[in-house]
Structure 1
Amino acid sequence: MVRGSKKPRFGILDVIVLAAAIAAVAYVTYRVDSVLVYTWDWSAIPGYLFRYDEDLGHWVPNLLIKGLITTIRISIWALIVASIMGTILGVMRTSQRLLPRLIGWAYVEFIRNIPPVPFLFLFYFFISSQIIPLLNIGSALDQASPATLGVVEFLFGPANLIENFLSGLISLSMMSAAYIAEIVRAGILAVPKGQYEAGSSIGLSKLAIMRYIVLPQAIQRVVPPIAGQFITLIKDSSLVALISIQELSFLAMEIAISEQRFFEVWLFTGLMYFTICYACALAFGRLEKRMGRHLR
């Protein structure tokens, strides 16, 4: 039998730690309940998940589910755009030429050393507000066919809010690209130098070596951490509520104000974030194990 194949056992120390954790949670709950003078009422929450549409004759998503869909939608798009930008920046960071390496370094250090909220405001009010109107997206959507409009709304959300959506998408992508660039750079540097020498020995150019030899091996190494970056993106997407994008946190804030049930709404919203992030963590954990087997 292989020495490392034994299943972990649940020992007495684990029981003590678990019991201490349960006791700590119970004590905190008791203290909060005794100090906080508050009447809990969760009855309003289910109505904001789904509602019955009499015109359509069936149940449809309500505000919280719509917000969750928008959160997942903007996170997926931001990951796609940030992965493309981050890969380019990561390659630039490992370039032997000074100018690409300097541009990649300046971008990464600039983004990583600015807090997300100031960056979001600066980008939205000084850059996005000038560029997005020039694209005439609203005019193009007004002339689009119903089928085209349906596809656009499925991919990007309501047509009347698509400009805000794109602003938030670009902001999140630019912030996340800096971190993905470092992940890609580490993956490229992890490829043995012998791979470069082998490519040179058969007459491949530097671009061909990077494209056909280095990047395929680097991508295998960086897929698990980039997948983990997606979880960070889901949580960071709550920042775009500051520019009125109707994702989960924005709609939860409106519900909490209208119902005057701040604790219930935000606790349930936190549970929704935890559920989707933990589900992604489990899925990416399996992906990491599969990728690890291929790298052995």
Structure 2
Amino acid sequence: MWELFLRALPLLQQAIVVTLGLGISAFILGSALGMLIALLRNSKARALKAIAFAYVSIFRGTPLLVQILLIYFGLPHYGIVLAPIPSALLALTLFSAAYLSEIFRAGINSVDPGQWEAAQSMSMGYWTCLRRIILPQALRIALPPMGSRLIALVKDTSLASTITVMEMTRVAEQVGAATFRYLEMFLMIGAIYWAINQVLTILQTWLEGRWTRHMR
């Protein structure tokens, strides 16, 4: 096992960077898009609510693997050609935004409606109220499911191997094919995924405790 690890180490070092880069970048971009979709879902304009609902329905209702393949193999038919990593990042971002939008929407709707009314009575505008009063509380409520979504997203990056992205699963496939030691390689990769997600879990727990103390 150890000699196999040393043999795969140069590729694994690059693959871990790609995996973390894809997962964290998709989470950040998906959070921004998800917040926009959540606000559209809570909008009073029916057309905007319908668009946001349709987006969430499509991207939550179809497999991520299908979305990745559609972007990588389907868009070239319309003259849009993306390299493997941008294709994977786009798919992961759109996919995560659908889930994160529902997390944000639940957090926003969990805030007491009386706080909106109090802000309006003080002549505070919608965006000011949202930024200063509602979102800090909503994000505290949404933090645990956001952490779970980030962990799931890191694991979902393994699907990028289907379009030749050199992330950890792709490396395991290649080294396994070269050495015929698939079991050991995939056990090794599984252990690395577990270690990464344990670090993320500890970070999430620390943030929860820190933010909860701050908001008391």
TM-score with structure 1 setting the length: 0.68
Matched positions, count: 216
Offset of residue 215 of structure 1: 2.1
Q: Secondary structure at the match of 1:171?
A: helix
Aligned CA distance change for structure 1 residues 206 and 86 (closer, same or farther; 3 Å): same
- Of the three residues 36, 39, 43, the one matched with 2:3 is 43
Residue pairs, 1:19-30, within 5 angstroms: none
Could you tell me how far apart the structure 1 residues matched to 2:208 and 2:30 are?
20
Shift of the 90–273 alpha-carbon distance from structure 1 to 2, 3 Å rule, reads: same
Q: Residue 64 of structure 2 contacts residue 91 of structure 2 at CA under 8 Å; is this kept in 1?
A: no
* Residue of 124, 137, 156 corresponding to 1:204: 124
More relative contact order, 1 or 2 (CA 8 Å, 6+ apart)? 2
Q: Going by fraction, where is helix more abundant, 1 or 2?
A: 2
Deviations 1:223-250 (CA, angstroms, capped at 9, x unpaired):
3321221111110000011111111111
Structure 2: how far apart are the matches of 1:163 and 1:129?
A: 14
Residue deviations 1:46-67 (CA, integer Å, cap 9, x gap): 2221xxxxxxxxxxxx011211
Partner of residue 89, structure 1: 37
Q: Secondary structure in 1 aligned to 2:83?
A: helix
- Does structure 2 retain, via aligned residues, the 8 Å contact 1:224–1:287? no
Letter in 2 for 1:278: Q
Going from structure 1 to structure 2, the CA distance change for 1:48 and 1:187 (only over 3 Å counts) comes to same
AA matched with 1:43:
E
Q: Does 1:195 align with 2:115?
A: yes
SS in 2 for 1:182: helix
Counterpart pick for 1:74 among 22, 26, 29? 22
Q: Does the aligned pair in 2 maintain the 1:252–1:269 contact within 8 Å?
A: yes
Q: Show the counterpart of 2:84.
A: 164
In the aligned structure 1, how far is the partner of 2:112 from the partner of 2:127? 17
For residues 86-119 of structure 1, what are the alpha-carbon distances to aligned partners after superposition, in whole Å with 9 as ceiling and x for unaligned?
Answer: 1101111111221121111111111111112112
Question: Displacement of 1:70 after TM fit?
Answer: 0.7
- Note the alpha carbon deviations across 1:159-208, whole angstroms, 9 max, x for none: xxx83211110100111111100000001001111111011112233343
CA contact (8 A) 2:140 2:208 kept: no
Aligned to 1:105: 53
Seq. identity, %: 32
Task: Judge conservation of contact 1:92–1:101 (CA < 8 Å) in 2.
Answer: yes
Which residue identity is paired with 2:56?
V
Equivalent residue for 1:268, pick from 188, 191, 207:
188
- Structure 1 residue 74: deviation in Å? 0.8
| Residues 211 and 285 (structure 1), Cα distance of their counterparts in 2 relative to 1, 3 Å cut | closer
Tell me the TM-score normalized by structure 2. 0.92
Q: Which has the larger radius of gyration?
A: 1
Separation in 1, partners of 2:161, 2:24: 17
Q: In the alignment, what sits opposite 2:207? A: 287
Indicate if the aligned counterparts of 1:128 and 1:167 stay in contact, CA closer than 8 A. Answer: no
Structure 1: gaps of 5 or more residues: 1-40, 50-61, 134-161
